[in-house]
Amino acid sequence: MRRDGAIIDGMGEPSDWIKNLKRDTEQDAKSRESAEQYRLHIDTLIKSKSPAFWSRIASQVRKECEELNATFPNDDRRRVQLEATGDEFTITNCIRPAKSLQANINSTLLFADVKIRTRENIETRPQMVTREIAFALNSERDLYGKWEGKVYVIPEDLAGALIREVIGLA
């Protein structure tokens, strides 16, 4: 070290740690800003694709509930009741314990809210569990839904998984 307090590096030049610290801090800030801009860009893409994806799920839920009931008209274990308004729906099984799944796309368009209610009998209060279907993009920028740890690129497959959850086949 020199008498003036500057540190000499191996090349004989004084090391300016404050300038280096400033440069590193600015680079870190730019990296964070770039990462945030990328995240916002991805969110914008998800928001643009998720309504159509969710609409396909809701449409398929309607079709499959109708087909399930027509295929098993006398088997309450395989029948469901469907209440649907727009892209929001509630699927309820026809046996005890009663189980219903209510789902709708969240206002952020980044995920869907799912509420599952189970009721052992008419005298008990329903137990509710809240879950979500997260929307994300794969490397090809195709939207997919993630439900219960599984990735669904095809909305119709996710619709089937939701119905199977209600009738106990999940």
Strands 80-85 and 14-15: unpaired
Please state, in angstroms and rounded to a whole number, the distance separating the CA atoms of residues 128 and 117: 4
For residue range 32-44, what is the model confidence (pLDDT) as tens digits? 888 889 889 999 9
Tokens coding 62? 């309607």
- Statement: residue 80 has pLDDT above 80: yes
Q: Which has more pLDDT, 135 or 23?
A: 135
Tell me the Ramachandran region of residue 149: left when phi exceeds 0, alpha when psi lies from -120 to 50, beta otherwise: left
Burial class (CB in 10 A: 0-12, 13-18, 19+), 83: exposed
- State residue 11's pLDDT score: 57
Compute the distance between CA of residue 169 and CA of residue 61 in angstroms, rounded to an integer: 15
DSSP 8-state assignment for residue 86: T
Q: How many CB atoms lie within 10 A of CB 109?
A: 18
pTM of the model as a whole: 0.81
pLDDT tens digits for 99-154? Answer: 999 999 999 999 999 999 999 887 888 899 999 999 999 999 999 999 999 999 99
pLDDT of 73 > 80? The answer is yes
Instruction: Give the per-residue pLDDT at 100.
Output: 96
Residue-averaged pLDDT of the chain:
90
